[in-house]
């Protein structure tokens, strides 16, 4: 076994012991295929008001500009799938990834542990950890390293486990053994495109982010445009539709991460309780939750917009 191969195995083994679903490795290089796609997506305004997407264009496409001396991108998946649902079928819905503790905290701690184990088992390796917080095209890197393919719903999909997982990376200055990309298995299926409530999936593999319910309920800081009245499918924070209808998610299994278990009161909140939620209840139920991103005022705005649909 070569040294590169040995190091790669050690990293994958450590990742598994930390609870990651899977780990793949690709060479830190310029994302040639993604460059024109990203440029076109931005020029068409499909990023909506997410002006930060326009920044650091070069860094987004080349991790060596983000981490000098970078040789490898280690991509990791962490499962968050649950079959638990909110009890009141008429209550405003939140995406299942936000049921428990904010994934940024959970994953960052695991990534730091992984870096620690790399230092202990391999030695002086330099690099940075990333969880959705820097200009890194995580889905592209995960696809390059064989963890799945980017599906027609623009999510990373795995034949083995579906798509209910978070993606994170280590970008490090160590040469490793690189994995091969996965092949596309969407076939002729258009379930996600057909089911999207706001028709944000404008064609296979292309999303108009400015129409996506996740964008409208989280990223958009101003009023939700009236054109989406009656189209929000009762989502108050994020949306799971294009994942729920994906046939590959029949292979999704329940996560084993205690931090992702929902707050004891969250799933039992009735429609009325959501609509009358006070700032203090919001602070208690969503104390360490990703829902904090939209703030109390943002969640109230979303719920009010939904109630106008009825």
Catalytic residues: 132
Report phi then psi at 249, rounded to 5: -75, 0
Q: What would you report as the CA-atom Rg of the chain, rounded to the nearest whole angstrom?
A: 20
Going by C-alpha positions, the residue among 60, 202, 215, 65 that lies closest to residue 139 is 60
Cα separation, 138 vs 130, in Å, equals 9
Instruction: List the structure tokens of 187.
Output: 């076939």
Burial zone of 121 (CB within 10 Å; 0-12 exposed, 13-18 middle, 19+ buried): middle
Question: How far is Cα of residue 224 from the mean position of the Cα atoms in its chain?
Answer: 22
* Three-class DSSP category at 57: helix
- 3-state SS of 226-280 is HHHCCCCCCEEECCCHHHHCCHHHHHCCCCCCHHHCCCCCHHHCCHHHHHCCCHH
* Three-class DSSP category at 33: coil
Cα separation, 47 vs 210, in Å, equals 6
Enclosing H/E stretch for 306: helix 295-307
């Amino acid at each position: 076994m070569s040294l590169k191969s040995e190091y790669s195995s050690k990293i994958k083994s450590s990742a598994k012991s930390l609870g990651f679903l899977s780990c793949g490795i690709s060479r830190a290089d310029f994302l040639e295929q993604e460059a024109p796609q990203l440029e076109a997506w931005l020029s068409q305004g499909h990023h909506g008001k997410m002006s930060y997407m326009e920044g650091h264009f070069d860094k987004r496409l080349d991790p060596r500009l983000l981490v000098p001396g970078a040789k490898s991108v280690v991509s990791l998946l962490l499962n968050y799938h649950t079959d638990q649902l909110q009890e009141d079928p008429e209550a405003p819905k939140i995406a299942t990834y936000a049921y428990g503790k904010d994934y940024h905290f959970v994953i960052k701690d695991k990534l730091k542990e992984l870096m620690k184990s790399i230092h202990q088992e391999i030695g002086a390796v330099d690099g940075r950890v990333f969880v959705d917080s820097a200009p890194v095209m995580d889905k592209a890197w995960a696809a390059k390293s064989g963890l799945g393919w980017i599906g027609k719903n623009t999510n990373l999909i795995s034949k083995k486990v579906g798509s209910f997982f978070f993606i994170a990376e280590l970008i490090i200055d160590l040469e490793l053994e690189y994995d091969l990309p996965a092949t596309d298995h969407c076939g002729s299926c258009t379930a996600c495109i057909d089911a999207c409530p706001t028709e944000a999936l404008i064609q296979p593999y292309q999303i108009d982010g400015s129409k996506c319910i996740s964008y409208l309920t989280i990223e958009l800081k101003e009023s939700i445009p009236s054109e989406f009245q009656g189209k929000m499918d009762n989502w108050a924070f994020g949306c799971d539709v294009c994942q729920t209808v994906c046939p590959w998610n029949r292979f999704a299994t329940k996560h084993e991460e205690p931090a992702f278990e929902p707050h004891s009161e969250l799933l039992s909140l009735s429609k009325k309780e959501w609509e009358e939620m006070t700032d203090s209840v919001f602070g208690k139920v969503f104390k360490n939750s990703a829902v904090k991103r939209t703030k109390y005022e943002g969640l109230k705005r979303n719920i009010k917009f939904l109630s106008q649909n009825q």
